[in-house]
Structure 1
């Protein structure tokens, strides 16, 4: 038996595992090193579809390599479309036939681990992406947002995302926050289930 609670990243994956089904389309809004992309590709399987966004080519290369290793090992993973673009462009770049059918969208805000720490997600583009993601979800779909308040500018983005989540009408979605209050600068999670 585990001694503590799940990490925020593991809790985000648990929320998604509870909602997304094999064969469904999903989105990784911040591909980074490809951890969530691979998780989603395994979850929805070879009949599913993953769209993964990142503004850094290095991030998409790391993600591609992670997916390739899994596929070579025999994992039955979903095909992934890796998009070198900001997540705020998801509405324009994901084909219209997927709009309203997405089972899960995962955001992992902040910067790419192991890369330039000054290149971070920004509140204005993040909020555009969150609105788009909520619109693209199917009923019962889930949106997870892992927030990092501890880096420069992270607190402003955290405040903007929290305010956005607080203003979602209950008729649109149900929101929850998962946080360790003893570590105020540590990452935390906001999740939204669409009605």
Structure 2
């Protein structure tokens, strides 16, 4: 449900020719959606530190005939986004935690996630949006969730709108989503 809300939030604004970022490509679901939304004239930069994630994403894109010039799969941590992207982006998505079906010991880390989010916010164009799906149910996940929420709660309300959504009838370990819109530079 959290990921679907994030997808809908980004689909409202992404158009052919836009630039987008998948900060945690995982199995490629978000990368695929972004590639469809930015169209043949757009570009998606997708990051992951695991070769398995890159392979899974490539296979997903190939199966949909979308592994072309519009997608750049980057085998690097999302904290290095500024080394790959110089132009403003329209949208970004981060699904924090671990690779589903992969090694659950390899997780996103609070320190690198905060750096990545800061760089992404700086790249976000006016009217652009970012989705952060948090998974507090794994070791380190609760601390990462709290740090992300602390960071986004301090964003200037004249420049950003921030919405946090959680499932109130689920345990605190259930995923949640943070939706951010940059309303002015």
TM range (shorter): over 0.9
Written as runs of structure 1 = structure 2, the 5 A alignment for 1:11-50 is 11-50=5-44
CA distance in 1, matches of 2:168, 2:127: 28
Partner of residue 54 from structure 1, selected from 28, 48, 55: 48
Once structures 1 and 2 are overlaid, which stretch shifts more, 75-84 or 184-193? 75-84
Q: Which moved more, 1:15-24 or 1:160-169?
A: 15-24
Q: How far is the alpha carbon of 1:172 from its aligned partner?
A: 2.1
Q: How many residues align?
A: 182
Matches of 1:42 and 1:28, distance apart in 2: 13
Partner of 2:175: 187
What's the counterpart of residue 86 of structure 1?
A: 77
How far does the alpha carbon of each residue in 1:47-74 deviate from its partner, in whole angstroms, 9 at most, with x for none? 1100000000110011011101100xxx
Distance 1:55 1:161 in 2: 20
TM-score with structure 1 length normalisation?
0.90
For normalisation by structure 2, the TM-score amounts to: 0.95
Is there any run of 5+ residues in structure 1 with no aligned partner, and where? 1-6
Q: Flag structure 2 segments of 5+ consecutive residues without an equivalent.
A: none
Query: Where does structure 1 differ by over 4 angstroms across 4 or more consecutive aligned residues?
Result: 75-78
Alignment partner of 2:157 out of 170, 178, 181: 170
Q: CA deviation at 1:77?
A: 7.3
Tell me the C-alpha RMSD between the 2 structures. 1.3
Distance in 2 (alpha carbons) for counterparts of 1:76 and 1:131: 28
